[in-house]
Amino acid sequence: MILSSSNPTGKRYNVVMHVLPKEAKTGLGISLTQEQISAFDTYQHELADWNQRSNLTAIREPQEVERKLFLESLSCLLAMQGSPMGRVVDVGTGAGFPGLPLKIIHPEMGLTLVESNRKKAAFLEHMVQVLSLDDVEVLHIRAEKAGHLPTHRETYDWALARAVAALPVLCEYLLPFVKVGGFMLAQKGARIKGEVDAASEAMAILGGGLIEVIPVTLPGVLEERSLVLVEKMDHTPEKYPRREGIPAKRPLGR
């Protein structure tokens, strides 16, 4: 099963991943260690266990978890590979996607998981302990507040989000976290042109500029996905993000 696309440097990569947990998994042509394979197995087991008492995700079938959660998370590497990982923030991460699978693949990166739901934040803290992950912080807080915290504002190399909000809203959630020269990466569906057009003014206001939209085809998944890559080119004005709920109610540029 192969995923292929190009990253901002123009290099072309393949993401190969075999169905978990029995078979070996690889990412960007690199075979995973047995420790990493075991980490994905543990993640899947714990997710299923917690889902029995807390609604962490609607995706529950093992193969769907593997393809639509694990593999889709790893597809971020199509855009990220070739640039320093550094510090990464995953906003509205839910049960840890895409942040935790990426941390398993790249343990050297610093990771912050932002999640406002208490039960999901508790699961994230549990997984960090179970997987013995270093340099991972869980913030149980709204993105609008987290983006104003001095220790988090404009300090990240990458800000990520998966299926959180429309692109103009995501720009206001993510870009305040990113330092100048860093990147925002949004995982979206295939029909993204309208959202990209609608977000152009928000990007400009918040200091970002569109680099590219990368189409992604996941093996075993009919729906094509997209990665929207935005570079942070200037500082975000201090008033953004606006107070809780306002970015979603009144998206910038509308």
Whether cis (ω within 30° of 0) applies to the bond prior to 21 is yes
| CA-atom Rg of the chain in angstroms | 17
Pair of tokens at residue 182: 């860093």
| CA torsion angle 193 163 178 229 (round to 10) | -30
Q: Which of 28-32, 192-196, 222-226 reaches the highest mean pLDDT?
A: 192-196
Helix H or strand E encompassing 12: strand 12-16
* Mean model confidence pLDDT for the chain: 87
Q: What is the pLDDT of residue 131?
A: 97
Element (H, E) at 4: strand 2-6
Q: What does the alpha-carbon distance between residue 69 and residue 44 come to, in Å, rounded to a whole number?
A: 10
Paired tokens of 7: 């990253």
**So what's the pLDDT on residue 135?**
97
pLDDT in tens, 102-161: 999 999 999 999 999 999 999 999 999 999 999 999 999 999 999 999 999 999 999 999
Domain boundaries, the chain: 2-249
How confident is the model at residue 30, as a pLDDT?
53
Q: What is the pLDDT of residues 73-102, one digit of tens each?
A: 999 998 998 788 999 999 999 999 999 999
Which one is the CATH code of 2-249: 3.20.20.370, 1.20.210.10, 3.40.50.150, 3.30.160.20?
Answer: 3.40.50.150
